[in-house]
Structure 1
Amino acid sequence: MDVIRTDFTVTTDDGVTIAVREVRPDGPAPRVPMVLLHGTTIPGLSEFDLPVPGGSLAEDLARKGHVCYIPDARGFGRSERPAEMEEEPLGQKPLVRTIEITRDLDAVVDHLRDATGQKQVGILGWGVGATCAAMLASLRPEKVSHLVLYVVVYGGVGGHRMFRDTERWDDPAHPYRLNPENFGGYKFNVLAGLEGHWNRQIPVEDKDSWRDPAMLRAFQQALLDGDPTSGTRQPPSYRSPNGMLEDLHLMAGHGQRLFHAGQVSARVMIVLPEYDDLARKEDIDVLVEDLCHAQEIDLWEPEGTTHYLLLDRPERGRDAFLERLDGFLAPADTIPYIV
């Protein structure tokens, strides 16, 4: 089956232009439409539609009969950026909080519903993107049939080791906020950060045996392509707003929920890879307990997998994920929304 890609924009209720890529089959698309939402610092195409074998979850889903939308939230990738991102970052409050991104996601969901004629869609979110996806599902339950929460952060418990250096992370005057001396409205990300984090996840010396080198290069190139200013700095870097990072700090560092999962009524799949260092089992346990009105909860904890299993070699968890996801999404068209 051939796959068709189309790029377009939608406008949010508050007037922000959001870039979207549609990936769909060249033919019937009978299965649940899907929105794929990126995480804290990385725009959508880098995670879900890389031009290398095994690099596009969107294409895999399209070949199964799903229409997929990949948005960049405001401030990310190809979408409209706050004017403050053209200024120096320090001295600004963190830009683009998760609650703002629900407006972007809601606009994309509505466009997908209209385009496909479906009352409900599925959403897959990565990291804090998964938090945002679940937040929207709690606010607009009539629009969301399926939630795939990939390495989700919820805020059930605090004390994440990432935030133990409180002098670096916490504002001395307001501990729940990021330290304004170290963090501003947005950040510059260099490519070495991605490679280093991915390498630390892989528990073997030969990283290429676990991750195709072409995958890493495509990922890095997509990050640079997503920011027109990336080549103006040395080394090249791409910008991302710090709002989702402040929300991550609030949830994982201090155990504060941004919403309550008891308001979610969709079917829910949670993915917690063994070697991931973002999501934590104790936090997921609280999330599962709070999902008291979800139609279904499928908690999958694949052994021997990394934070990047969607882009690792097929035998390193990617094929198993696709099979599990296909089973989770398969009966979607026959399950009605229950008020």
Structure 2
Amino acid sequence: MASSGAMSNRTIKTEDFWIASDTPGIELMVRNKRLSSSENFSAERTILMVHGATFPLESLFDVELDGFSFLDFMASHGYDVYAVNVRGYGGSTRPPEMEQPADHHPPLVRTETGVQDFGTAVDFILKRNNLSNINVFGMSWGGTVAGAYTSRNNDRVNKLVLVAPQWVSSKPIPLDPGGQIGSYRLVPIEAMKTRWLNAAPEDKRTDLLPEGWFEKWADATIASDPSSQTHTPPSIRATNGPIQDVREYWTLGKKLYEPKELSVPVLLVHAEWDIDVPIDSAKALFSGITGAPYKSWVEIGEGTHMVMLEKNRLQVFHAVLQFLDQEYIPAR
């Protein structure tokens, strides 16, 4: 399936692929965007992204705000851009347990499953483009997925980008609602606006999201789950495996991977008002990255955990672009 869009008069080609996972009957959706005038890309100009614990790639990376999305932005700057939905999210297959009441099964899609699905997407891109490594990008829980994958597969990664990456925290983690959890949870989209804006100081909330942006994001998010309109109010399903990992790892001070085992360049982007990943948590992760050839930290002022969809999103976009554009020649 292919379609075209434009940004700055440069035509972008879009293709969606469904690739087999390691589980029979489960397919993973991988979206690719690139300039239609370009066909061959180096490892340095290829990137794979993975989403967080609640919202899929369609909702986080490919909502057109002011006429373009993050995927569009990177593609327009000459990158071969891929993003994958882990099973249970967006256009990927939902495990059959998600078609049953949530309390019938334990939490679905633990982080290890996310890492496996991400690795499947990496393998698909390497084979498709005849490459030995690519850049990888993870946001929030996706930061854990991409970080854990990289720590075990440094040879397949050129550079690693982490935006608001989940990490060990001594504070309660808002993702966890408390109480007993089932296989998945329902996330009412309209209710997200209050939670989103409440992360910012009261006098800064009115201009955090330019007019119409939340509505565009909400429409894209609802459209990403075919069952969303069967719930009142409209809600998407999100797997609870990441929350179970919060309980068994992050709030107990246990790491899901060792940051010292990252041996590629790393960029960490954090926003001033991120209450999901407090700055002390992000700093602990950053200080633990001791094996990278170099690492960079970018702090975005006046942004929340969802900074990539807010008024200052271009600061994130340009920070990622600058980091990836910087020439890096690995030691031989």
Partners of 2:191 and 2:249 in 1: CA distance: 22
Which of residues 301, 321, 329 in structure 2 aligns to 1:303?
301
Q: Retained in 2: the 8 A contact 1:265–1:294? A: yes
Tell me the distance in 1 between the aligned counterparts of 2:47 and 2:247. Answer: 28
What does residue 152 of structure 1 align with?
165
1:81 and 1:200 map into 2 onto residues whose CA distance is 31
2:330 matches 1:336: yes
- Equivalent of residue 262 in structure 1, options 249, 253, 260: 260
Q: 1:51 aligns with which of 54, 58, 64?
A: 64
Structure 1 CA distance, aligned partners of 2:52 and 2:250?
15
User: Which residue of 321, 327, 335 maps to 2:316?
Assistant: 321
Q: Using the TM superposition, give the Cα deviation of residue 230 of structure 1 relative to its aligned residue in structure 2, in angstroms.
A: 1.1
Instruction: List aligned pairs for 1:19-34, cutoff 5 A.
Output: 19-28=29-38, 29=41, 31-34=44-47
Deviation string 1:282-310 (CA, Å, 9 cap, x unpaired) is: 22233223211112110112222222221
Q: CA offsets, 1:294-339, max 9 Å, x none? A: 12110112222222221112xxx3222222222210135x52375x
Offset from partner CA, 1:131-178 (integer Å, 9 cap, x none): 1100000111111111111111122x4333648x9xx73xxxxxxxxx
User: How far off its partner does 1:55 sit?
Assistant: 5.0
SS in 1 for 2:271: coil
Q: 1:337 to 1:318 in 2, by over 3 A?
A: farther
Q: Shift of residue 206 of structure 1?
A: 6.9
Q: For 1:208-227, what aligned pairs fall within 5 Å after superposition?
A: 209-227=207-225
1:2 is aligned with what amino acid? T
Offset, 1:201: 2.7
Deviates more, 1:217-226 or 1:47-56: 47-56
Q: Give the Cα separation in 2 of the matches to 1:55 and 1:206.
A: 25
RMSD: 2.1
Residue of structure 2 equivalent to 1:78: 91
CA distance in 2, matches of 1:8, 1:245: 28
State the AA in 2 paired with 1:94.
Answer: P
Which residue does the alignment assign to 1:239? 237
| C-alpha separation in 1, matches of 2:122 and 2:81 | 11
Match of 1:132 among 140, 145, 152: 145
> In the alignment, is the contact (CA less than 8 A) between 2:273 and 2:304 conserved in 1?
yes
Structure 2 contact 277–305 (Cα < 8 Å) conserved: no
Q: Which residue of 2 aligns with 1:280?
A: 278
Distance in 1 of aligned mates of 2:243 and 2:263: 27
Match of 2:19 in 1: 10
Taking the aligned partners of 1:140 and 1:64, their CA distance within structure 2 comes to 27
Quick one: distance in 2 between partners of 1:321 and 1:77?
Answer: 23
In the alignment, which of 98, 103, 119 is matched to residue 106 of structure 1? Answer: 119
Identity %: 25
Q: Aligned partners of 2:195 and 2:174: how far apart in 1?
A: 13
Tell me, in whole angstroms, the C-alpha distance in 2 between the residues paired with 1:161 and 1:11.
33
Q: Structure 1 regions of 5+ residues with no counterpart?
A: 170-178
* TM-score, with structure 1 as normaliser: 0.87
The within-5 A match list for 1:87-126 is 87-126=100-139
8 A Cα contact 1:160 1:252, kept in partner: no
TM-score normalised according to structure 2 size: 0.89
- 8 Å CA contact 2:198, 2:205 repeated in 1: no
Contact 1:159 1:252 in 2 (8 A): no
Q: Distance between the aligned counterparts of 2:200 and 2:273, measured in 1?
A: 8
C-alpha distance after superposition, 1:62-106 (max 9, x if no partner):
011111111111011111111111111114210000110111111
Please tell me whether the aligned partners of residues 5 and 24 of structure 1 are also in contact (alpha carbons under 8 angstroms).
yes
Residue range with higher mean Cα deviation, 302-311 or 88-97: 302-311
Partners in 2 of 1:8 and 1:193 — Cα distance? Answer: 32
By how many angstroms is 1:200 displaced?
Answer: 1.1
Q: Distance in 1 between matches of 2:286 and 2:310?
A: 27
Post-superposition shift, 1:247?
Answer: 1.7
The 8 Å contact of residues 145 and 337 in structure 1, kept in 2 or not, is answered as no
